[in-house]
Amino acid sequence: MEGITFFSGLWFCLVAVLIAGYFILDGFDLGAGVLYPFIAKTKTEKAVIRRSIGPVWDGNEVWLLTAGGALFAAFPPAYATTFSGFYLAIMLVLFGLIVRAVSLEYRVHDEKWGGLWNLLFFLGSLLPALLFGVAIGNVYAGIPMSALGDYTGFPLFGLITPFTLLCGVLGLLMFMAAGASWIAQKAPKPSELQERAAKIRTILQICTLGVFVIVTVYALFGINLEMLGGLAAILRYLFAALFVVALIAAIFFGKKGNDLFSFIAQSASAFVLVGLFAASMFPNLVIASANSVGQNITIMNAANSELTLMWMTIITCVGLPLVLLYHVISYRTFRGRLTDEDLDY
Amino acid sequence: MDILSDVALLSRIQFAGTVAFHFLFVPLSIGLGLILAINETRYYKTRDPEDAAATRLWVKIFTGTFVVGVATGITMEFSFGTNWANYSRFVGDIFGAPLAAEALLAFFLESVFLGVLVFGRKKVSPKFYMVSAWLVWFASMLSALWILIANSWMQTPAGAVLASDGSRAILNDFFAAALNPSIFARYTHTVNSVLIMGAFVAMAVAAWYLLKDRNIHFAMKTMRIGATVAIITSCLMLVFAHSSAMVVVNEQPTKFAMMEGMYETETPPLYLFGWVDQEGQKAGGLSIPGGTSFLATGDWNATFPGLNDLAKDPMYSELDPANLPVNFVFQTYHIMLAMYVLIMISAILAIFFSYGKGKIRNMKWLQRLLLIAPLFPFIATQTGWITAEVGRQPWVVYPNAAAPGVSMLTDDAISVSVTSVELLITMLLFLVVYALLLVAWIRIMSGFIKKGPEPATEALVESMGGE
């Protein structure tokens, strides 16, 4: 396409990959946090859930910082418009992430405030898990923008429509399914917690499929986004099909009792869902709604200079292999189901 | 009620408040990271149960502090987009890259190996565990480098030109931008100050045990480690602070004039304390005539441009000397200097009396001094940072000859779509949430310290895994 260079196209894909990485990794620990008060009946079960995500949640969350940084570094107008336009929503996500991080670390040392930390861990997981989908729904459905790209709609409540709420619910279900899937493959087996997680995992995955169909139909017929044909169209069909296949595989593996494979298939579904979103948006980054003065923010009008993108690519070529290595080390060190001994670290 | 509807001012207050809070915990965790790594290395060498107990305690203290830094750090990365959208659009070609690099190259390393430190004691070899402690510290030092590259570029922009339509800055030389004129001086100055902070907190913990007359072995070991780090870093500070000041003199003359309260071109004296009369545009106080001039140039009689003359320079034409918080910057700068004197005195006393016979064990007054001494580096880093940030006003991107035309007034940097009502709501929420964090942190830390290191037994060493 005209105006899209090798580097700007590459960075569109890289930002999508970083978002997908975030949704997969922090997805399961956010989901575990949402399920935490419902799925864990005893103190030990609560401790198992916290311990299962304890060594990895921080690294998972760095994917969000990297994705945000990459959006800023590659397409600053898109970063500026969305973060300032979604101001209160972003702040709610932020407060969620803050209290969740601290409650997760402090709960184990603080019996007296245990109830408060448990509540904050749940709320702090719920807010981001719900609002990320709402934000993505808005980017896709379009927001009113000034000529300079500043959001002109009503703060926070202007962002909530039936469609964006549905996107929020889809995201929440995805995160919760991933959380249940994570717990099901980390909890001791056999245990009541593991059985409960496995059961709710299947229910959540079926609900996800249902809501996905509704969102897709709504997006295709209710929102008139002009989408590119050609390769982008092929990728859209492919990703949509793969999403359904991956989720069905996750359900299938779960039924077979292969919890690890079920989790991997669940993760794959999150990856292709972000792929589907990216292929639908390309080459747009933020859609301007029909009543907007401003234009869509696109790769063409938002990309940074080639020099900056080249340096960012060099930094990524050095950094990304290292990041993957750290993750291999971390997930290998803490692999396998938890035992009683793991709760005393 | 003008203030309550001024989006630029409210955004500045929110940013200042959240970054100041963040800047309590992150520096402390970088400083404590070094103390932890030293302790862990000592254990690795000795396999002494006491060292095992010590390093386990430091992991807890470090992690409990680190997590608040992480949590409040997300605020900062988001805030450029949420509250400073015009700024983000203007500098995005340069400023986004170091933030992304910080996450990619430093945060991942830090977070993954912190996971190993907290949960992996029994899962990895002692050597791997020790290396993890150093990696966490190294990563935190690296993240400080990237964020200071970003901040220093705002102070002394380089390697960029203004786009032909004037809408944004465009990178034209990556290395010139990253290695901008102030980065080395500001990085060494800042990082050294946070190491002082960690050392002083370690000494305060030790002093508390000495005062309570318990865990004496642990306390004396910790005191010696803290005092050693403190004396080295406090001495290095003389060099780093001087080079940092020289960069301000050469690259940010209006900041230097504010720090010394100079409205007119003059030979700056060295104030011990003083006051700036902003109406009368004059500074007064107890001072050594020509002292600052001597420190900056070796000449007691060199003159430096005052704010009124600088405002006539085309590069600084946006400067309005009558509307600058000169006294505020003067005071914060001189408080920082005063704190440094206290830091130096405390470090010398600590090193002198903790080695040898360890006389400090019976010196209650010195123990009490070192117990409150962390206040000095805490106040010094906060006031120093305020000096750096308020001193560059009215610009958010300070004009520099190395990037002609690339500058931005703070008032122009705001998010147009964010209203003052939204800001008031979030400021209130920040107040509530951060107050909770502070109270919780204090509770958790005092809990750890009161409980103290675990009993030093052979079983403890065994529980930590062998080769």
Q: For residue B1, what pLDDT is reported? A: 53
- List pLDDT tens digits, range B390-407: 999 999 999 999 999 999
Give mean pLDDT, residues B5-32: 95
On whether the CB atoms of residues A161 and A31 are closer than 8 A, the answer is no
ipTM above 0.85, yes or no: yes
Kindly determine whether residue A149 and residue B426, on different chains, have CB atoms separated by under 8 Å. no
Q: Which of B422, B418, B396 has its CA nearest to residue A81?
A: B418
pLDDT value of residue B462: 76
| Per-residue model confidence as pLDDT tens digits over A90-120 | 999 999 999 999 999 999 999 899 999 999 9
Q: What letter would DSSP give residue A136?
A: H
Assess whether pLDDT exceeds 50 at residue A242: yes
The 10s digit of each residue's pLDDT in B22-38 is 999 999 999 999 999 99
DSSP three-state, residue B436: helix
Mean pLDDT of the B321-347 span: 97
Please tell me which residue, B442 or B467, carries the higher pLDDT value. B442
Q: What is the dihedral of CA A290, A291, A297, A301, to 10 degrees?
A: 100
For residue B453, whether the previous peptide bond is cis, meaning omega lies within 30 degrees of 0, is: no
Please give the Cα distance from B109 to A58 (Å, whole number): 11
In this prediction, residues A214-243 reach a mean pLDDT of 93
Q: How far apart are CA B455 and CA B461, in angstroms?
A: 11
First to last CA, chain B: 67
Work out the mean pLDDT of chain A and round it to a whole number: 95
Q: Is the pLDDT of residue B187 over 80?
A: yes
Nearest to A145 by CA among A300, A297, A340, A335: A297
User: DSSP per residue over B98-123, as a string?
Assistant: HHHHIIIIIIHHHHHHHHHHHH-TTT
Q: Inform me whether the C-beta atom of residue A333 falls under 8 Å from chain B C-beta atoms.
A: yes
Lowest mean pLDDT among A121-135, A330-344, B414-428: A330-344
| CB-closest option in A59, A155, A318 to B112 | A59
Q: What pLDDT is attached to residue A1?
A: 59
Residue A190 neighbours by CB distance under 10 Å: 8
Q: Do residues B117 and B136 touch, judged by C-beta distance below 8 A?
A: yes
Tell me the C-alpha to C-alpha distance, in Å, between residue A156 and each of A341, B77, B254.
46, 21, 41
pLDDT band at B129 (very low <50, low <70, confident <90, very high): very high
Q: What are phi and psi of B464, to 5 degrees?
A: -90, 10
| A156: Cα separation from own chain's centroid | 20
pTM, two decimal places: 0.94
- Percentage of the residues of chain B whose pLDDT score is greater than 90: 93
The whole-number average pLDDT for the span B168-187 is 96
pLDDT of residue B467: 46
Is the minimum CB–CB distance between A111 and chain B shorter than 8 Å?
no
- Tell me which amino acid residue A311 is: W
Q: Residue B262 region, left (φ>0) first, then alpha (ψ -120 to 50), else beta?
A: beta
Which of B170, B149, B152, B195 has its CA nearest to residue B37? Answer: B195
Residues of A in contact with B111 (CB under 8 A): 58-59, 61-62
Amino acid at B418: V
What's the rounded Cα separation, in Å, for the pair B334 and B270?
10
Tens-digit pLDDT profile for residues A265-284: 999 999 999 999 999 999 99
A59 interaction partners in chain B (CB closer than 8 Å): 108, 111-112, 115
Two structure tokens written together for B453 = 């290191």
Rounded to 5°, the CA angle A43-A47-A49 comes to 120
Which pLDDT value is given to residue A2? Answer: 67
Residue B434 has pLDDT above 70, yes or no: yes
Interface probe for A, chosen from B111, B113, B146, B173 (most Cβ of A below 10 Å), is B111
- Encode pLDDT of B87-99 as tens digits: 999 999 999 999 9
Q: For residue B28, what pLDDT is reported?
A: 95
Residue of B nearest to A58 (CA): B111
Q: Does A308 contact B93 at a Cβ distance shorter than 8 Å?
A: yes
| Set of chain A residues whose Cβ sits within 8 Å of the Cβ of B71 | 97-99, 101-102
State the nearest Cα–Cα gap between B103 and chain A, in angstroms.
5
Q: What is the pLDDT of residue B426?
A: 97
Chain A: residue whose CA lies nearest to B80: A80
- Is B443 a residue whose pLDDT tops 70? yes
% of chain B beyond a pLDDT of 70: 99
Is the CB of A102 inside 8 Å of chain B's CB atoms? yes
